[in-house]
Copies of this chain bind each other. A is one copy, B any other.
Amino acid sequence: MPATPVPERWSRVALTRVDPHVDGGRWPIKRVVGETVEVVAGLIIDGHDLLSAELQVEFDGAPDRTVPMVLRYNDEYVASFPIERIGRYTYQVHAWTDRFGTWQDRFRRRVEGGDSDYEITSELLDGMALLHEAAGQARGKDRKRLQALARAFEEGDVKAALSEEVLELARQYDPREGAIASPVYEVRAEPERARFAAWYEFFPRSAPSKRPHATLDDAAELLPRIQELGFDVVYLPPIHPIGTTNRKGKDNAPVARPGDPGSPWAIGNVEGGHKAVHPELGGIEAFDRFVHRADALGLKVALDIAFQTSPDHPYIKEHPSWFRQRPDGTIRYAENPPKKYQDVHPFDFESPDWPALWQELKSIFEFWIDHGVTIFRVDNPHTKPLAFWQWCIEDLRSRHPELIFLAEAFTRPKMMYTLAKLGFNNSYTYFTWRNTKSELQSYAEELFQTDVAEFFRPNFWPNTPDILTDYLVHGGRPAHVIRFVLAATMSSAYGVYGPPFEHVDNNQHPEREEYANNEKYEIRSWNWYDPHSLQPLMRRVNRIRRENPALQYMRNIRFLEIDNPEILAFYKQHEDNLILVVVNLDPHHTQSGWITLPMNDLALPWDASYQVHDLLGGEYYHWHGARNFVQLNPHVLPAHILRLER
């Protein structure tokens, strides 16, 4: 084995780690405009020398700022920078030996330790040499000043040598020999709506209308109500022409009866595909009016993008090569043997013609972006190649950084997390099935208090058109209140499939954990202005969210001790705003217990007397010290949303 040559370049400074990062920098971290990135770098140097470090920040490829990194403890150097714009930030750590700082520190100790004049004078000459090096980097008056200081050193000016001024100048113009640089880490800076939003889903064809099938103009009449209820995002299931071949009937019946409207996810017929609006919804012009009306109300419209076709979609004839074929030449429908889904064809992302297919699918997003849509709920992204999403989202975002993509992937964690890493801003979660205190708490801790929070931003949904859980069915109205309050307070981003939820429709399909008389397959009528429904609760909770910044963040959740396993309690704090949420998870019985507050963390004296205001129920409670009593009757109100009044 030949001898290893000495390294061509080496540095005394070594980087051990940079936080935050996702998979060592393979994926960006996520932040929202208004937030801050605090970067911590582990940096070491041999011996007792000092080192200097700085953070270089760029925005969209141009320098943004340079921030000196400050030693905290245990060789950790810290710097922060604000996220001010939507787009792509990068950060990189640079570090080098602080030769002058090291010299001055030792020189000070020599002076204080009483070294001889000879030694002091001699050491000043070493310091002078460093100043000459620095002067070589400087220009103008700084250079002149460094040269003057060098002369002062030569003349034995101890005071100048110990000055803050010389330290600052010498550091500023340090030649930075042997500087090292970390990898470049990326931040995806997103709109605030990616973290703080309330989504409302409904089927526009069920809007009040003179016709059996409502149009988007009818649906637009509901927008003021949705806005008044406090929602930010109006999410519509697919609005495209619906196939007729093999159309499914009520509750997924294999054969539709005359008049059955079909599932909006069976996309496309002779009247168009993914870039068309169902004529019965009023066509593209009605959609444009819908978006316009929403915009005027400050609501954003989210569209469902489902990459699959009905057998009648124009693509089938125009691009048969985009679909998998059976050996007999017919186009494969979706199936999970022995189940067959004969009303739907999946695309073949591995088709020999895949580049054209991918471009066309991307152009579907572009079509709707051109019609004012900036939020997309993507149907089953985990059944399409990850490489497609990464390319598609990256390209769209490069021109439209404000876009928000919600991944509807109810699947295993690694896939859900990978979709979030590669570009989806929001993700559906297991919240929907986490019912007990320990389930909710451990899941929230995973999402909000581990590194998962750097890349995965949940959107909590208590129900969807596909999911009506047993908990909601058996717990009735109290269960609905419980799940709504949990979704809207644990996560700052949440959504609800509104109409059946607000009317506590707990009529479950006999075989599946979903709604009977499912709106996916039929048009239903709802009371959109019902004071006995959950609408007033939704209005109140959304208002509390808007008025209390603590509820507009995710990572600030902290669970509280309470001596009753049926009661979940947590608090969230943002600056002065402190919200305590206490929820009785038992929809049937009154539960009570003693809650323990971390008085120190809340900056309260251990024996403080204070008032908490239940923003949900309206009451004021006088509490004393750390332990206080709570009692919640689910048939009255199963939750407190308490604001600490200071």
Residues on A lying within 8 angstroms of B by beta carbon are: 1, 3-4, 6-7, 10-12, 14, 16-17, 23-24, 42, 44, 46-48, 74-75, 106-107, 109-110, 112-115, 122-123, 125-126, 326-328, 336-338, 349-350, 354-355, 358-359, 382-388, 391, 394-395, 398-399, 412-415, 417-418
Shortest C-beta distance, A328 to chain B (Å), equals 6
A385 to B125 Cα, complex, angstroms: 25
Question: Can you report 21 A-B residue pairs in the complex whose CB atoms are below 8 A from each other?
Answer: A1-B399, A6-B354, A6-B355, A10-B385, A10-B391, A12-B385, A16-B417, A17-B23, A42-B414, A46-B385, A48-B383, A74-B413, A74-B414, A106-B337, A107-B337, A109-B338, A110-B337, A110-B338, A115-B338, A122-B328, A125-B327
Known A110-B338, A382-B46, A385-B46; judge A75-B414 contact (CB<8 A).
yes
CB pair A44 B415 closer than 8 Å: yes
Q: What would 10 more interface pairs be, CB under 8 Å, given A12-B386, A16-B417, A110-B338?
A: A1-B398, A1-B399, A7-B391, A10-B391, A16-B418, A44-B418, A46-B385, A75-B414, A114-B338, A122-B327
Name the B residues within 8 Å of A412 (CB-CB): 44, 74-75
Which residue from chain B places its CB closest to the CB of A383 in the assembled complex?
B47
Name the B residues within 8 Å of A355 (CB-CB): 6
CB pair A113 B337 closer than 8 Å: yes
Name the B residues within 8 Å of A14 (CB-CB): 386, 418
Name the B residues within 8 Å of A382 (CB-CB): 46-47
Name the B residues within 8 Å of A338 (CB-CB): 109-110, 112-115
CB pair A387 B11 closer than 8 Å: yes
Q: Within the oligomer, what is the number of copies of this chain?
A: 2
CB pair A337 B115 closer than 8 Å: yes
Which residue from chain B places its CB closest to the CB of A113 in the assembled complex?
B338
A107 to B326 Cα, complex, angstroms: 13
Shortest C-beta distance, A351 to chain B (Å), equals 12
A61 to B413 Cα, complex, angstroms: 36
Name the B residues within 8 Å of A123 (CB-CB): 326-327
Name the B residues within 8 Å of A115 (CB-CB): 337-338
**CB contact between A327 and one of B48, B126, B398 (< 8 Å): that residue:** B126
Name the B residues within 8 Å of A417 (CB-CB): 16
Shortest C-beta distance, A280 to chain B (Å), equals 32
A4 to B113 Cα, complex, angstroms: 64
Interface-centre pick from A112, A327, A412, A415 (highest chain B CB count, 10 A): A327
CB pair A46 B384 closer than 8 Å: yes
A63 to B382 Cα, complex, angstroms: 36
A125 to B3 Cα, complex, angstroms: 59
A359 to B337 Cα, complex, angstroms: 68
Known A115-B337, A327-B125, A418-B16; judge A387-B47 contact (CB<8 A).
no
Interface-centre pick from A47, A388, A418 (highest chain B CB count, 10 A): A47
Name the B residues within 8 Å of A3 (CB-CB): 395
Name the B residues within 8 Å of A337 (CB-CB): 106-107, 109-110, 113, 115
Name the B residues within 8 Å of A328 (CB-CB): 122
Name the B residues within 8 Å of A16 (CB-CB): 414, 417-418
Which residue from chain B places its CB closest to the CB of A60 in the assembled complex?
B1
CB pair A395 B4 closer than 8 Å: yes
Which residue from chain B places its CB closest to the CB of A49 in the assembled complex?
B383
Known A74-B412, A418-B14; judge A326-B122 contact (CB<8 A).
yes
Interface-centre pick from A4, A16, A46, A354 (highest chain B CB count, 10 A): A46
CB pair A6 B414 closer than 8 Å: no
Shortest C-beta distance, A396 to chain B (Å), equals 9
CB pair B336 A48 closer than 8 Å: yes
A112 to B339 Cα, complex, angstroms: 12
Shortest C-beta distance, A72 to chain B (Å), equals 12
Shortest C-beta distance, A526 to chain B (Å), equals 35
CB pair B326 A12 closer than 8 Å: no
Ranked nearest first, the 4 interchain pairs of A and B with the lowest CB-CB distance are A113-B338, A10-B387, A109-B337, A4-B395
A6 to B361 Cα, complex, angstroms: 12
Name the B residues within 8 Å of A42 (CB-CB): 414
Name the B residues within 8 Å of A336 (CB-CB): 48
A7 to B122 Cα, complex, angstroms: 63
Name the B residues within 8 Å of A24 (CB-CB): 23-24
Name the B residues within 8 Å of A399 (CB-CB): 1
CB pair A326 B126 closer than 8 Å: yes
Name the B residues within 8 Å of A23 (CB-CB): 17, 24
A75 to B10 Cα, complex, angstroms: 41
Which residue from chain B places its CB closest to the CB of A382 in the assembled complex?
B46
Shortest C-beta distance, A519 to chain B (Å), equals 27
Which residue from chain B places its CB closest to the CB of A400 in the assembled complex?
B1
Name the B residues within 8 Å of A75 (CB-CB): 412, 414-415
Which residue from chain B places its CB closest to the CB of A338 in the assembled complex?
B113
Shortest C-beta distance, A419 to chain B (Å), equals 10
Name the B residues within 8 Å of A388 (CB-CB): 10
Shortest C-beta distance, A390 to chain B (Å), equals 8
A337 to B355 Cα, complex, angstroms: 68
Shortest C-beta distance, A26 to chain B (Å), equals 9
A44 to B384 Cα, complex, angstroms: 12
A125 to B385 Cα, complex, angstroms: 25
Name the B residues within 8 Å of A4 (CB-CB): 391, 394-395, 398
Name the B residues within 8 Å of A359 (CB-CB): 6
